[in-house]
């Protein structure tokens, strides 16, 4: 790995995965790397999907147990919003289910405990009603999510069956959008809920993870609904280098290795659920210097491109979250005490950041292309980019519209009249409102 010493084991795993995946699985503890490769080779699992699922499950398990603090003004929890991108039938769900098995098993335990406690509960005795503790939910309103988080301050994970359904569902029956509420959740800002139809709830330090899957052609359709609020910039996209269907291996899965993996994942979760919450972990001096260097490397590309700026501003924060996850996981699997986030963990976080940054640019290109092809404003946007001038004539617009989108004269004038991206200056003269540089 760049910037740090790499073991022979990590080097071998890196060589194996580079043939078929860009996901830097060498950031994980060696044992986890072995499981990922085993399930790829003999379980027919996509390496990116399984690695992304494990990363998400680590984040969910840690929850609010630990926070990372850069300085007195900047701290982060372990919240990750991961979206698996792939063709239909790419088996995105099975690797995720295996990665989350310990969390789902634990929730089943909580459910049994709740039912047992409810059977002995007597409201007439002025007893405290048992809490229904949840670690994850597949479908809920934002109000329900907040109530679940209130009952479990450790954190909650949203695992929608389809990510598109989740995004569409953010607009409620009354037309109000909950996107802004989720943005506040991602930021870790305190949240309160006071509504007649729901119990009051206050979350001082929300920690909500999201993991879901969507087809690559479907996510492009969401561009037309994007309100430029930074919602999609908060997503960490997992995109396999190779999506083709693979032949089933004749070699059976190493069941012992898988059993040990599940035992260790269960132990990791149990340790994270035990003890106090909100333990602040500082950066080591070297980790802080390395982070500052990487943050500074984002300045120039951010100043050159607005879309890049939106992506990198979120990844700036994700680097801290990823470094914390790497440190906590490494300490657990290597039986070390957590004191500070090391330089090694920060280097691993940067490798992950680079992976997610590359994927974000790829998704942005896909969404831009779909937006420019399939929506009125998108068509105008692409025409104005092609014209490349601040002021232009209707004749120029009509000519480029015909070349790019095979649009006739009448439709071109219609687009000019309805678009908010142009301003009429006079007869046949217009000004572009987009950056033409």
pLDDT by residue (tens digit) across 222-270?
Answer: 655 555 678 889 999 999 988 777 888 899 999 999 999 999 999 999 9
Say if residue 336 is in the same domain as residue 388: no
Q: Across the chain, what does the average pLDDT equal?
A: 89
State the DSSP code for 175.
S
Cα–Cα distance measured from residue 302 to residue 306, given in angstroms and rounded to the nearest whole number: 7
379 close to 259: Cβ distance less than 8 angstroms: no
Residue 252 lies in a domain: yes
pLDDT digits (tens, 9 = 90+) for 394-413: 999 999 999 998 899 999 99
Residue 407 lies in a domain: yes
Kindly indicate the confidence band of residue 147, based on its pLDDT and cuts at 50, 70 and 90.
confident
Structural domain that includes position 423: 376-432
5 pLDDT above the threshold of 90 = no
Say if residue 355 is in the same domain as residue 391: no
Cα–Cα distance measured from residue 208 to residue 59, given in angstroms and rounded to the nearest whole number: 10
Say if residue 232 is in the same domain as residue 324: yes
Q: How confident is the model at residue 197, as a pLDDT?
A: 46
Say if residue 278 is in the same domain as residue 398: no
Say if residue 406 is in the same domain as residue 369: no
Q: How confident is the model at residue 307, as a pLDDT?
A: 85
SS3 396: helix
Say if residue 286 is in the same domain as residue 384: no
Of 357, 373, 389, which closes a domain?
Answer: 373
Say if residue 406 is in the same domain as residue 288: no
Say if residue 269 is in the same domain as residue 382: no
Of 353, 373, 393, which closes a domain?
Answer: 373
Residue 6 lies in a domain: no
pLDDT digits (tens, 9 = 90+) for 25-78: 999 999 999 999 999 999 999 999 999 999 999 999 999 999 999 999 999 999
Say if residue 336 is in the same domain as residue 196: yes
Say if residue 300 is in the same domain as residue 390: no
Total domain count for the chain? 2
Residue 437 lies in a domain: no
Burial of 313 (0-12, 13-18, 19+ CB in 10 A): middle
79 pLDDT above the threshold of 60 = yes
């Amino acid at each position: 790995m760049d910037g740090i010493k790499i073991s022979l084991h990590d080097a071998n795993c890196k060589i194996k995965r580079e043939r078929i995946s860009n996901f830097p699985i060498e950031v994980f503890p060696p044992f986890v790397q072995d499981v990922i490769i085993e399930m790829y080779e003999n379980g027919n699992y996509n390496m990116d999907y399984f690695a992304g699922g494990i990363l998400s499950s680590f984040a969910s398990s840690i929850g609010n147990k630990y926070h990372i603090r850069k300085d007195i003004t900047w701290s982060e929890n372990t919240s990750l919003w991961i979206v698996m991108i792939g063709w239909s039938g790419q088996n995105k769900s099975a690797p995720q289910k295996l990665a989350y098995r310990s969390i789902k098993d634990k929730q089943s335990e909580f459910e049994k405990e709740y039912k047992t406690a409810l059977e002995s509960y007597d409201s007439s005795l002025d007893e405290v009603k048992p809490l229904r503790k949840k670690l994850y939910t597949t479908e809920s309103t934002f109000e329900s999510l907040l109530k679940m988080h209130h009952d479990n301050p450790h954190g909650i994970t949203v695992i929608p069956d389809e990510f598109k359904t989740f995004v569409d569902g953010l607009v409620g029956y009354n037309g109000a959008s909950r996107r802004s509420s989720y943005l506040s959740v991602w930021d870790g800002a305190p949240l309160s809920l006071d509504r007649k139809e729901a119990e009051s709830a206050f979350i001082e330090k929300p920690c909500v993870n999201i993991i879901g899957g969507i087809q690559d052609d479907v996510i492009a359709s969401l561009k037309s609904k994007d309100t430029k609020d930074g919602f999609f910039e908060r997503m960490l996209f997992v995109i396999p280098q190779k999506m083709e269907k693979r032949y089933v291996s004749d070699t059976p899965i190493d069941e012992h290795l898988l059993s040990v993996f599940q035992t260790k994942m269960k132990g990791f979760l149990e340790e994270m659920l035990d003890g106090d919450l909100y333990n602040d972990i500082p950066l080591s001096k070297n980790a802080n210097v390395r982070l500052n260097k990487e943050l500074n490397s984002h300045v120039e590309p951010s100043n050159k491109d607005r879309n890049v700026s939106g992506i990198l501003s979120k990844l700036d924060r994700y680097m801290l979250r990823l470094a914390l996850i790497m440190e906590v996981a490494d300490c657990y699997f290597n039986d070390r005490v957590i004191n500070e986030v090391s330089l090694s963990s920060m280097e691993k976080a940067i490798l992950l950041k680079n992976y997610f940054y590359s994927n974000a640019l790829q998704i942005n290109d896909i969404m831009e292309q779909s937006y420019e092809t399939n929506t009125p404003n998108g068509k105008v946007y692409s025409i104005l980019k092609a014209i490349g001038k601040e002021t232009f004539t209707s004749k120029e617009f009509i000519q480029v519209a015909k070349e790019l989108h095979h649009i006739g004269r009448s439709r071109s004038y219609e687009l000019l009249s309805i678009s908010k991206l142009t301003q009429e200056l006079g007869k046949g003269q217009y000004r572009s409102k987009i950056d033409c540089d």
